[in-house]
């Protein structure tokens, strides 16, 4: 029997795992909107990225004179969160530093996630707090995979529409997930992107410091899935060939540049949160 937490509100139902506070299912009017996690393509569904986003050079982070193994996106997605509030349509999950986390990331932190289910929407609200006496270097991301196609039709007829015009270039990502200085063109048509064309590259499509805080993922039927973010400066779009999903992600940071061997406090894209500081971020998705 599943240990997932069940939420409901109006026509929406959701399941949330205590491991990683991962959104395992979100249905509207009985239809699933979250990818099912087929391990042949991608075994996850909607992981939390913390305390880094992306790949580290050599699979390690450097902090306080130590060289520490670090997997892609850090440890947040596999951590056991503590439930501090559960209601019919919402819950709060928290994670804080322990002896185990300090072995992997030698900093004090507290991460609280409020998950709220609305009539046709899900909201993830994040708060990172620094309870320590030194700056906390962190990055945060939300990585949900949505069913694609989600309303019939062919995948190559789906588009993403941006709230504002975007710079039509994104960084080329080297093998191993590291960021290069080379920029690849993004085939925008005005403020729309045929997403299958946009993903015609070796790795994810990353729009750093984007102008848009809102996008719409539009089916050929005209039905749309909307996403709105606050204090996530980077959009990331990703899928694997053959997988019927599209990840529409919000990141505050990104993978290491090629050749980077600096301390985690010098890693490009990390937020340096001062002692006693708080950083709040929101990701909301809805079905139109």
| Calpha distance 250→232 (Å, rounded) | 5
Q: Tell me the CA distances in angstroms from 31 to 90, 152, 246, 287, one per residue in order.
A: 20, 12, 16, 11
Residue 1: band (very low, low, confident or very high) from pLDDT cuts 50, 70, 90: very low
- The whole-angstrom separation of Cα 80 and Cα 22 is 11
Average pLDDT over residues 1-29: 93
Flag whether pLDDT at 3 surpasses 90.
Answer: no
Q: Does pLDDT of 156 surpass 80? A: yes
Answer yes or no: pTM beyond 0.75: yes
Q: Please state, in angstroms and rounded to a whole number, the distance separating the CA atoms of residues 77 and 46.
A: 9
- Model confidence at 238: pLDDT above 70: yes
Whether pLDDT at 2 is above 70: no
């Amino acid at each position: 029997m599943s240990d997932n937490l069940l939420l409901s509100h109006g026509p929406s139902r959701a399941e949330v795992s205590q491991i990683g506070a991962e959104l395992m299912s979100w249905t509207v009017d009985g239809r699933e909107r979250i990818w099912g996690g087929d391990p042949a393509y991608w075994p996850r569904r909607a992981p939390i990225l913390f305390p880094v986003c992306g790949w580290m050079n050599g699979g390690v982070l450097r902090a306080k004179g130590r060289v520490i193994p670090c997997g892609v996106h850090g440890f947040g997605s596999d951590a056991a969160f503590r439930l501090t509030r559960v209601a019919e349509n919402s819950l709060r999950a928290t994670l804080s530093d322990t002896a185990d986390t300090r072995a992997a990331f030698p900093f004090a932190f507290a991460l609280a996630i409020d998950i709220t289910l609305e009539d046709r929407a899900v909201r993830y609200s994040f708060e990172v707090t620094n309870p320590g006496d030194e700056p906390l270097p962190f990055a945060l991301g939300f990585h949900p995979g949505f069913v694609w196609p989600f309303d019939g039709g062919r995948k190559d007829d789906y588009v993403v529409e941006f709230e504002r015009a975007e710079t039509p270039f994104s960084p080329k990502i080297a093998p191993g997930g590291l960021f290069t200085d080379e920029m690849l063109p993004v085939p925008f048509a005005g403020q729309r992107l045929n997403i299958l064309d946009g993903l015609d590259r070796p790795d994810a499509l990353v729009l750093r410091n984007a102008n848009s805080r809102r996008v719409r993922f539009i089916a050929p039927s005209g039905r749309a899935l909307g996403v709105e973010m606050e204090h996530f400066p980077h959009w990331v779009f990703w899928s694997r060939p053959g997988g019927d999903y599209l990840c529409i992600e919000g990141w505050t940071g990104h993978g290491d540049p090629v050749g980077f061997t600096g301390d985690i406090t010098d890693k490009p894209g990390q937020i340096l949160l001062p002692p006693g500081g708080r950083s709040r971020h929101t990701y909301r998705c809805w079905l139109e």
